[in-house]
Structure 1
Amino acid sequence: MKYLVPLLTILLVAACSSRPTTSGIGVEQASQQYNQQLIVNNPELGKKLAITDVKTRQTNGLTDVVVTLASQYKKSQYLQYQFTWYDADGFVIRGNHSPWQPITLFGFAKTQLPGLAPTANAVTFSLAVREVSTEAQEFED
């Protein structure tokens, strides 16, 4: 608990740094502060999602997080998420992106997404979320 306030402060400062972001960041929500960590690949999807809570702790010297992602949409959403970790200077820790993980987020539901920093140098993160097509893919010969 003693690391929570300093870490959240670092998360918010790092989220406001000059690293590139995509449209769809920040959903109107009481907990809008967390949504600076949310990177969404399109504005329409960004309107349907919000981060409502972030919990952190230290596990064997690594930052361990649980992000609560909430649906602001009435239908199920088929998504993938990925954590990107940053050092104290706001630089991406190269080669340490987590793999894309599939999730189904039901209408107006919440889910917890766990993430573990790849190194002790990781002090903040962003959470990228993208839609997964549910339509059959056709390939030409």
Structure 2
Amino acid sequence: MKAHGAALGLMLLLSACTTNTAGVALYAPAGSAAQLETHNSGLDVALTEQSRREQNGLLQVNVILANSRSGDSHLQYLFYWYDGSGQELASDGRGWTPIKLHGYQSRTLSALAPNPTAQGYRVYVREVIEESN
């Protein structure tokens, strides 16, 4: 019984030290409307598709990111690309892009697909977590 109590205590201690890195995403598969995915309800931001079009044979998207709180939000975002059957394509090599939004500020996130087979996208936004040393 003591072993179970010690294991439970250790598990609770470790879970208290974890950081929530979940965020929100806007997923727009080929030929379908964009859908909001919320993985962190405490992140007070909104994502809205502004436009999706073809430019020089490549998919170009513009997404509005809006801060719903009065204080600053330190965020980062990443675009993922999908072919017509929903398979994720190779990354364009860019990592997470940091962005700071002041209270109630909106910004447009723009991206151009890395190749002509991209027909859908997902943009994922999460809070920047400061590491303490």
> Which of the pair has more CA radius of gyration?
2
- Give the match for residue 23 of structure 1: none
TM-score, normalising length from structure 2?
A: 0.69
Q: Percent identity?
A: 34
Find 1:73's aligned residue among 60, 65, 69: 69
Unaligned runs of 5+ in 2: 1-27
Give every structure 1 segment of 4 or more consecutive aligned residues whose post-TM-superposition deviation is greater than 6 Å: none
How far did residue 54 of structure 1 move? 2.1
- Give the match for residue 51 of structure 2: 55
- The one-letter amino acid paired with 1:122 is A
C-alpha RMSD over aligned residues: 2.3
| Counterparts of residues 14-93 of structure 1 (less than 5 Å) | 34=34, 36=35, 38=36, 42-45=40-43, 48-93=44-89
- Give the match for residue 120 of structure 1: 116
Structure having the higher strand fraction is 2
Structure having the higher helix fraction is 1
TM-score, normalising length from structure 1?
A: 0.65
The number of aligned residues is 106
- Give the match for residue 24 of structure 1: none
- Give the match for residue 10 of structure 1: 31
Unaligned runs of 5+ in 1: 1-6, 13-33
Question: C-alpha distance in 2, partners of 1:122/1:85?
Answer: 6
- The one-letter amino acid paired with 1:111 is R
Question: C-alpha distance in 1, partners of 2:30/2:91?
Answer: 25
